[in-house]
Amino acid sequence: MAVVHVIGGGLAGCEAAHYIANQGIEVILWEMRPDQTTPVHRTPYLAELVCSNSLKSEQEHTAQGLLKTEMRILGSLLLQCAEQTRVPAGSALAVDRDLFAEKVTRLLEDHANIEIIRQEVVDIPKDQHVIIATGPLTSPRLWQNLQELTGTDNLFFYDAVAPSVTTASLDMSTIYRASRYGKGTDDYLNCPLTKEEYESFHQAMVEADIAEGHSVDQGLFFNACMPVEVLARQGIDTLRYGPMRPVGLNNPRDNSRPYAVVQLRQEDKDGRIFGLVGFQTRLKWGEQDRIFRMIPGLAKAEFVRYGVMHRNSYINSPQLLQPTLQLKNNPQLFFAGQITGVEGYMESAATGIIAGINVARTCKGQQPLIPGENTMIGALLRFISTASSVNFQPINASFGLLPELVPAVKNRQKRYQGYVERAILQTKEYSELLRL
């Protein structure tokens, strides 16, 4: 019988190992801690939560709530352990982080089909079933080898993520399509600002609250790209000569040149999501909500993700991975967790379950299977494997990733309810298929 190597005992690796072992397949789970650690992990436990102790909302009609419901249907180990170690946190699911990680560790240590080896993996085992789930702080030596395996252009070292919004939430009576100097096709959405609008926006940026970074992130980003609020603080015109440059972007409605422009670029295959070009930021999320909605056309923007800047090692999944999480040119090699370009504890864990399902199926000679695209997990897999590989940026669970309801529902609450019902149905169908 096959043995599966799961590299990395974090959130994704633990979910994967647990699923595979429960299928009666032997797992070797490799975890480099405690002998070698990352700049953010502090304990020897598996599934350590490195920052917040919150696994985010449990409310039924939120994207995070839906993700959890789907994971529960698929038998998530982490959510079972979270339930047993939860602490009061309103509508969020928060845990006592040490009790949580200790519980996951003990369950996996006690599992008859799992052997845990506390050692850094540097060379990826050849001709074997392997899941790489080494997370955003993958050890440098393994990273080096991944570079050789995938090519340097296919690895990213940190997130400099600009906020993204749903296309449906944009006011297209203000926004216009154009590319600079009319070069190529009119792929960009442009939000024009008058002098007064620009000055108010600039003022808000200068006064905005910035999120404090983790110490691992200090001094990380300035080499490659500046946070937009830092540019704003350099002077009143810096943004207007930088990411908000209006030249070559005349408004086709009256052929006038705006005082400044915010450009939005398509991020997904279907054009449901657009990102603010050059707006990587460390502003607090509430501040992003408030200030970016001052941009003409964005007053009612629904944010699919907020801008962040932090250290994050991830691969160019659209280039490298199938939606089943298999490497395109080596189907025995799977990736799971934050390294695939999903972002967040639960998103990472969810991809761990899927990698576990598919490696187990492959070992049994079955075809890999993924949940339908109406599910939150299916939508995440679809995004990471089909997004533009040029500017590929990590993604959180969000309703903006899901296909529209047919017929479309205008009322937001009812729309979300529709998404949730449809997704749960499809996850149950998927779960049934796995049993066949």
Ligand X SMILES: Cc1cc2nc3c(=O)[nH]c(=O)nc-3n(C[C@H](O)[C@H](O)[C@H](O)COP(=O)(O)OP(=O)(O)OC[C@H]3O[C@@H](n4cnc5c(N)ncnc54)[C@H](O)[C@@H]3O)c2cc1C
Residues at the site binding ligand X, with contacts judged by CB under 6 A: 7-13, 30-33, 38, 40-41, 50-52, 120-121, 133-139, 142, 214, 216, 311, 337-339, 344-345, 348
Phi/psi of residue 222, each to 5°? -70, -15
Q: What minimum distance in Å lies between the beta carbon of 384 and ligand X?
A: 13
Q: How far lies 16's CA from each of 114, 257, 328, 335, in Å?
A: 11, 54, 20, 10
SS (H, E, C) 17-81: HHHHHHCCCEEEEEECCCCCCCCCCCCCCCCCCCCCCEEEECCCCCHHHHHHHHHHHCCCHHHHH
Cis bond upstream, residue 163 (ω within 30): no
Element spanning 150, H or E = helix 140-150
- Choose between 52 and 391: whose C-beta lies nearer to ligand X: 52
Q: What minimum distance in Å lies between the beta carbon of 55 and ligand X?
A: 7
- Choose between 259 and 285: whose C-beta lies nearer to ligand X: 285
Q: Find, among 194, 229, 227, the residue nearest to 208 by Cα.
A: 229
- Choose between 19 and 198: whose C-beta lies nearer to ligand X: 19
Q: What minimum distance in Å lies between the beta carbon of 314 and ligand X?
A: 9
- Closest residue to ligand X, judged by C-beta, is 10
Q: What minimum distance in Å lies between the beta carbon of 339 and ligand X?
A: 6
- Choose between 131 and 273: whose C-beta lies nearer to ligand X: 131
Q: What minimum distance in Å lies between the beta carbon of 78 and ligand X?
A: 10
Instruction: List all residues 6 or more positions away from 223 whose beta carbon is below 8 Å from its beta carbon.
Output: none
- How far is 37 from 409, CA to CA, in rounded Å? 48
Q: What minimum distance in Å lies between the beta carbon of 254 and ligand X?
A: 45
3-state secondary structure of 243: coil
